[in-house]
Structure 1
Amino acid sequence: PLHDINPLRVRFVANRVPLRGKQILDVGCGGGILSERIGLMGGHVTGIDPAKRTIQVAKLHAIESGVDNRVTYLCTTAEELVADKREGFDVVIAMETLEHVLDPSETIQALADLCKPQGSVFVATINKTLRAYLLAIVAAEYVLNAIPRGTHDYDTFLRPSDIARAMRQAGLVVKECAGFSYNPFTRHAQLSNNVDVNYVIHAEKPEAS
């Protein structure tokens, strides 16, 4: 499913902020499918993930795809980057990551801290609704076997209002919330006004006063 949704995620970001020549952070990058695509669009991407094996796979795939000069992978977390006082990024992205962290609010604060003033933060996750449970867990994991069973835990799903509140508390200004409509049977994805299942939020970091 991530491979089906990835082009839509990339377009959502690219249609809202310029990517060429920008410093971009992909938090929870996994195997790097988003990082590579953005690197090919001219961004200088740093992809981070706490799973060492995943980062090794991402590095190898970047070399095979010829984008290793555009994408750098690090085995770390957003919180650790903040602690290292890492220089800020123009765009910070966390797609399908917040539902897997221990403290989403803490991670959102780290995303904000890593974003430069006038930069953008993009977060995509799964809503805490019955429809999301039926589609993201029952259908995807048990009926279609599209993803491994146990990938998602309903208790970790997050409502858009909770994400928006945490973003505002972190000093960000929420600009937009949109849904990702995905049909697992046809594998077709499109933007939607319906945020019942997958959704993305775009926020900006205001200029320091």
Structure 2
Amino acid sequence: MTVTAREDHVSEVYGDVEIFADATAYFDRQTAESNPDFWSRCGGRPDFRGKRVLEVGCGHGALSVDVAGDGADVLGVDLNRWRVKFANDLVLSRHPELTSRVRFSATDVQDLSMDEPFDYVISKDTFEHVDDLEALLQAVYRLLKPGGVLIAGSTPLYWSPKGDHGRTGLRVPCLHAVLPTSIVMRAASRHKGYTVRNVSDIGMNGYTPEQYRRMFDSTGFEQLEIRYNQGRRVARILGTLRFISFLEKYVTTGFYLRFRRPGV
């Protein structure tokens, strides 16, 4: 998984109790709010009992822990080693009953072996950060069993009103999408405190909806469903404008998909 990787690491260890407490509060918000939203936007939560599940871009681990609680055997992978350490430590401290069912690794998806393929691959708010998404999709295809399912969702996409994720420092929605690129990169450089030459330097890939579709179509997946502009009312209103071709990349806030590897 080649992710646009320039991130602000606080430490390889927690540094102080406040850092751990902040991360724990974030984990709890993900569990209480973001995870239910994710399953709703994806069309519902599968029955994970007895399944092998891979989460791509697991972050602090909330979604993986959630799925392990359903009775799945889960591996969460992420390139941020600090978050992986946090996730493993949190399971030990708060969910010891799950230690045999969920683990986290700072591993590139493309480096995972095929010894035991997965029933499901899940990914939440990660695809918009991956530089070589086509390679990631190929790796996911390889790691799934025939008939296995990929469930993924990403929002906000870069060109949508809040798609810079606040990383350019431009506080008005849409400015990053309509201002000249040179101005946006200078603003991002000031905001981040290092030279930003392209969107990859702020951890985004900048793909348009058309580019995503081309990559999806180039895989061998059977596309069961793709939902666009799920969630809040504003996103749904913008979604009514998606079919105006010159507006599509600016009003497509996100996608939620279910793909299946063909087979039994």
Q: TM-score range by the shorter chain?
A: 0.7 to 0.9
In the alignment, which residue of structure 2 is the partner of 1:75?
106
The question of 1:38 aligning with 2:88 is answered no
For residues 118 and 181 of structure 1, what CA distance do their matches in structure 2 show? 28
In the alignment, which residue of structure 2 is the partner of 1:170?
219
The question of 1:5 aligning with 2:61 is answered no
How much identity, in percent, do the aligned residues show? 23
- The amino acid that maps onto 2:65 is E
In the alignment, which residue of structure 2 is the partner of 1:156?
205
The question of 1:199 aligning with 2:199 is answered no
For residues 41 and 62 of structure 1, what CA distance do their matches in structure 2 show? 15
Indicate how the Cα distance of structure 1 residues 160 and 20 shifts in structure 2: closer, same or farther if over 3 A, else same. Answer: farther
In the alignment, which residue of structure 2 is the partner of 1:137?
164
1:52 to partner: Cα distance:
1.5
Larger radius of gyration: 2
Q: Contact 1:128–1:154 (CA<8 Å) still a contact in 2?
A: no
Q: Contact 1:122–1:201 (CA<8 Å) still a contact in 2?
A: yes
Gaps of 5+ in 2: 1-25, 173-190, 193-198, 240-250
TM norm structure 1? 0.76
In the alignment, which residue of structure 2 is the partner of 1:187?
none
1:25 to partner: Cα distance:
0.3
Q: Contact 1:127–1:157 (CA<8 Å) still a contact in 2?
A: no
Q: Which residue of 97, 101, 115 corresponds with 2:126? A: 97
Indicate how the Cα distance of structure 1 residues 60 and 192 shifts in structure 2: closer, same or farther if over 3 A, else same. Answer: farther
Q: Name the stretch that deviates more: 61-70 or 86-95.
A: 61-70
TM norm structure 2? 0.62
For residues 8 and 172 of structure 1, what CA distance do their matches in structure 2 show? 25
Gaps of 5+ in 1: 185-189
- The amino acid that maps onto 1:38 is V
Indicate how the Cα distance of structure 1 residues 158 and 123 shifts in structure 2: closer, same or farther if over 3 A, else same. Answer: farther
For residues 128 and 46 of structure 1, what CA distance do their matches in structure 2 show? 26
1:196 to partner: Cα distance:
1.7
In the alignment, which residue of structure 1 is the partner of 2:154?
125
1:99 to partner: Cα distance:
2.2
For residues 51 and 120 of structure 2, what CA distance do their matches in structure 1 show? 7
Indicate how the Cα distance of structure 1 residues 138 and 56 shifts in structure 2: closer, same or farther if over 3 A, else same. Answer: closer
1:170 to partner: Cα distance:
2.3
1:13 to partner: Cα distance:
5.6
